[in-house]
Amino acid sequence: MKTLTLTKPDDWHVHVRNGALLRTVIAHTAKQFARAIIMPNLKPPVTTVAQALAYREEILSAVPAETSFEPLMTLYMTASTSVEEVKSAADSPYIHAFKLYPAGATTNSDAGVSDVKQIYRQLETMEKFDIPLLIHGEVVDERCDIFDREKQFVSTHLEAITRDFPGLRVVLEHVTTAEAVYFVESAGPNVAATITPQHLLFNRNAILAGGIRPHFYCLPILKREEHRLALVRAATGGSQKFFLCTDSAPHLTALKENACGCAGCYSAHAALELYAKVFEENGALDKLENFASFNGPDFYRLPRNSEVVTLIKSPWNIPDFYANEDVRITPLLAGETLSWKLQ
Q: Least distance in Å: CB of 270 to ligand NCD?
A: 17
Question: Is residue 150 near Zn ion by the rule CB under 5 A?
Answer: no
Q: How far apart are CA 339 and CA 240, in angstroms?
A: 27
Please tell me whether residue 107 binds ligand NCD under the rule CB under 6 A: yes
Q: Taking CB under 5 A as the rule, does residue 247 contact Zn ion?
A: yes
Backbone angles phi, psi at 108, to 5 degrees: 50, 45
As a 3-state breakdown, the chain gives helix, strand, coil percent values, each rounded to 5, of 40, 20, 40
**Among the options 145, 247, 286, 326, which is catalytic?**
247
136 binds, among Zn ion, ligand NCD, none (CB under 5 to 8 A by kind): ligand NCD
Q: Which residues of 220-236 are buried (b: 16+ CB within 10 A; e: fewer)?
A: bbbbeeebbebbbbbbb
- CA dihedral 45→50→52→57, nearest 10 degrees, is -130
> If binding is defined by CB under 6 A, does position 197 make contact with ligand NCD?
no
Residue 291 CB, shortest distance to ligand NCD, in Å, is: 19
Q: Give, as ranges, the residues between 36 and 95 that touch ligand NCD (CB under 6 A).
A: 41
State yes or no: is 164 an active-site residue: no
Quote the CA–CA distance of 91 and 52 in Å, as a whole number. Answer: 13
Site for ligand NCD (CB under 6 A): which residue of 4, 15, 149, 273? 15
Tell which one of 32, 106, 236, 295 touches ligand NCD (CB under 6 A): 106
- Minimum distance, C-beta of residue 74 to ligand NCD, in the bound complex (Å): 12
Q: Quick one: which of 46, 137, 140, 45 has its CA closest to 92? A: 46
Q: Which does 219 bind (CB under 5 to 8 A by kind): Zn ion, ligand NCD, none?
A: ligand NCD
State the catalytic residues.
Answer: 247
Rule CB under 5 A: which residues touch Zn ion?
Answer: 247
Rule CB under 6 A: which residues touch ligand NCD?
Answer: 15, 41, 106-107, 136, 218-219, 247, 249, 263-264
